[in-house]
Structure 1
Amino acid sequence: MTLQESQICIECQTAFKGRVDRKFCSDQCRTTYNNRQKSIENAYIRDVNSILKKNRRILLELNPEGKSRVSKDKLAGKGFDFNYFTSTYKTKDGSLYFYCYEQGYLPIEKDYYLLVVKKDFNN
């Protein structure tokens, strides 16, 4: 193993001596650096999951019977985000259902949606 005279820690910018391929001056700096990297990745996932859960709550609230019709304005007014869904289902006739977990919606006539629940989840 070759030692280098002086290296700079990528976390705290402190000079240290050690193996050539070493990037951190200590285990604490390595852990802090890696935790920060993961928190950035996890923040995005947390934000998307929050939107999906909110969409699901809205659909559940507006569809207590398992099948109903609602306007786009009503969904949007409650904060529904049409850009986020967990899956889609295309029927034989070409209708495309969007799902937030088990709660689904189908664009029907102008500015209206049919709200449904996946059959797998009905009790």
Structure 2
Amino acid sequence: MEIKQCLECQEEFEGRVDKKFCSDQCRNTYNNRQNKDANSIVRSTNYILRKNRRVLAELNPNGKSKTTAEKLKAKGFNFNYFTSEYVTKNGAVYKYVYDQGFLLLDDGTYALVIKKEYID
């Protein structure tokens, strides 16, 4: 075994040829610091998606309803964040936040639906 220097605390240690850290704590601390920026982006995106889903579920308690953009915005809905799209044969594009969907109708209102496969 050879003497190495921990990437986190710079302490010397002995170990396998491929070992980089003196302890699990140093390994975790190092990796958490390396991933901090990526984790904050994921965390903030997930927060927005969860909020969007809550808003849709609150305005659509029975599985099918209509609402306006003003009502959605007033509750903090962000139209730029959704998890998937579904295009119908007629070309209508439903946007989904997990199981909760919304579709912009011709009259400017939104149809709210629940994805069927989540119900079954």
Q: Same fold by TM-score, threshold 0.5 exceeded?
A: yes
Q: Give the alignment of 1:11-90 within 5 angstroms.
A: 31-90=28-87
Aligned residues: 119
Measured after TM superposition, the shift of residue 28 of structure 1 is: 6.8
Identity of aligned residues (%): 57
Q: Which has the larger radius of gyration?
A: 1
| Structure 1: unaligned runs, 5 residues or longer | 1-8, 17-22
CA deviation vs aligned residue, 1:9-44 (integer Å, no higher than 9, x gap): 98789xx9xxxxxx99x9876653432121221111
CA deviation vs aligned residue, 1:90-114 (integer Å, no higher than 9, x gap): 0111000000000000000343100
User: TM-score, normalized by length of structure 1?
Assistant: 0.75
User: TM-score, normalized by length of structure 2?
Assistant: 0.76
Runs of 4+ in 1 over 3 A off after TM superposition: 9-13, 26-33
Shift in alpha-carbon separation, 1:56–1:31, aligned structure 2, 3 A: closer
Compute the RMSD of aligned alpha carbons: 2.9
Task: Indicate if the aligned counterparts of 1:73 and 1:111 stay in contact, CA closer than 8 A.
Answer: no
| Structure 2: unaligned runs, 5 residues or longer | 1-5, 13-19
